[in-house]
Amino acid sequence: MDEFVSTELPLTVHVGLPRTGTTCLQRQIFAKHSDIRYLGKHCTSREARLNSLKALRAVAHLSDAEYEDSRASVSSCWSDLLGSAKLVRPSQTAVTISFEDLYHPGSRDPITVMTRLRNVFGPGFRVLVSIRNQFRWIESLYLCSFREFTVKGGQANFGDWSADERKKEWNAFACCDYWPMIKSLAGIVGRESIFVAPMELLIKDSKAALQKDLSVFMRVGVEETLRLFNDAVVENEGIGEMDYVLGRSQHLAAEALPGIQKKVLSYLLARIREQTSASPMKARIPGDVREYFSIEERLAIARGNKGLSDYTGLDLEQLGYPI
């Protein structure tokens, strides 16, 4: 591409990962901050939301051939969106694009995604990567998938889900080795243009040090950022313990029941889940998710977390990350 889309305002792209406080950031911080023109699935303008999601999904999901055919329209879409960014509020000093599918199992790999973004925006944008303890993250990702199972079917057993997940070229287990990917992303946009935010600190940081650093990185007002984090209501998008037990019961019983009884059981359990959806205890899967990682994968994750700690200056081991 010969010309980049103009970004007169500083641009930060939040790529995910999913299940790392992304909804809280999108709804409670990016969409409410007076300095930020936010583009993504929770922005208030319906037109901007639909257009930005269309362009983001193209970047995240299309094959190389499909993306090449769509490249001009994607660029034109971003040009229109960023051109209108200056017209929303005079106070806005930065643009933030947030979409967790940009670093997501089942999407194109992050190197392909980041290269596409660089070809659109040029070398001047910054990248925010939110992370989470790998074993907690993959458990949360599965439980989110399990919630989908209770509605429309899918793999209810973690072992079966893991086996299916590993069939993908870019999958959740590959996502867990953060450090090599973050080094590669830094090679595309520059070391100073990458900000790594463990959700354990960013969302729950009572000292707010990481939140201040994020404000400086994104070039937005620190005081307002701290206030928004302080006022943020973290929404529980996970699945409750009772919901998980009922869903597992549905799965196990349905395997042994004929059609009409299976439908009746599904209906009854769905009604019970409606009454217990506010279960205060989060679900945990039976067993240890680490058993589904090979020894080589666990060693690579631990080495990577040590490298990531050195890179960020954050003590990931103290936050519970395997090192």
Q: Do 216 and 258 reside in the same domain of the chain?
A: no
The reply to whether 245 falls in a domain is: yes
Calpha distance 320→294 (Å, rounded): 20
Does residue 159 sit within a domain? Answer: no
- Asked whether the beta carbons of 26 and 110 are under 8 A apart, the reply is no
How far apart are the C-alpha atoms of 36 and 88, rounded to whole Å? 10
Could you tell me which of 253, 274, 275 has the C-alpha nearest to residue 264?
253
State percent of the chain over pLDDT 90.
63
> What sign results for the dihedral spanned by CA atoms 257, 261, 262, 265?
negative
Whether 29 and 102 map to the same domain: the answer is yes
User: Are 94 and 9 in contact, with CB atoms under 8 Å apart?
Assistant: yes
Amino acid at 216: V
Q: Is residue 50 located within the same domain as residue 95? A: yes
State the residue for tokens 């409670």: 28
Q: Are 61 and 79 contained in the same domain?
A: yes
* 183 vs 177: CA distance, rounded Å: 11
CA dist 214 and 195 (Å) reads 8
- Total number of domains constituting the chain: 2
pTM of the model: 0.86
The DSSP code for 128 is E
Q: For residues 310 and 301, give the distance between their C-alpha atoms in angstroms, rounded to a whole number.
A: 14
Same domain, 187 and 267: no
Query: For residue 168, how many other CB atoms are within 10 A of its CB?
Result: 13
My answer on whether 127 and 255 are in the same domain is: no
Q: Give tens-digit pLDDT for 17-37.
A: 999 999 999 999 999 999 999
Q: Residues 171-228: pLDDT tens digits? A: 999 999 999 999 999 999 999 999 999 999 998 776 789 999 999 999 999 999 999 9
**Bridge partners of residue 279, in order along the sequence:** none
| 149 and 157 Cβ atoms separated by less than 8 Å | no
> Is 99 part of any domain?
yes
**94 and 213 part of one domain:** yes
CA distance 120 to 193: 16
Question: Do 119 and 245 belong together in one domain?
Answer: no
Residues 219, 248, single domain; the answer is no
pLDDT reported for residue 245: 57
Answer yes or no: is 103 within a domain. yes
User: How far is Cα 262 from Cα 256, in angstroms, rounded to an integer?
Assistant: 9
| Nearest C-alpha neighbor of 194 from the set 209, 178, 205 | 178
Checking if the pLDDT of 282 tops 70, the result is: no
Question: What separation in angstroms does the CA of 43 have from each of 37, 51, 96?
Answer: 9, 11, 10
* Measured distance between the N- and C-terminal CA atoms of the chain, rounded to whole angstroms: 42
Give the model's pLDDT for residue 135: 95
- pLDDT tens readout for residues 234-275: 766 555 555 565 566 656 655 666 777 766 666 666 666 566
Domain with 80 in it: what CATH number? 3.40.50
Say if residue 108's pLDDT is above 90.
Answer: yes
C-alpha count within 13 angstroms, C-beta hemisphere, residue 116: 28
Q: Is residue 2 part of a domain?
A: no
Q: Please indicate, yes or no, whether residues 54 and 37 belong to a single structural domain of this protein.
A: yes
**Domain-embedded: residue 98:** yes
Q: Is-contact 279 241, C-beta < 8 A?
A: yes
Q: Are residues 175 and 269 in the same domain?
A: no
Q: Is residue 113 part of a domain?
A: yes
DSSP state, residue 39: E
Would you say residue 52 lies in a domain?
Answer: yes
Query: Cβ(78)–Cβ(117) under 8 Å?
Result: no
Confidence (pLDDT) at 144: 78
pLDDT at 143 over 60: yes
For residue 201, what are the domain limits? 11-135+170-235+304-312
259 shares a domain with 180: no
Specify the pLDDT at position 242: 55
Show the tokens assigned to 36: 């930020």
pLDDT of residue 7: 77
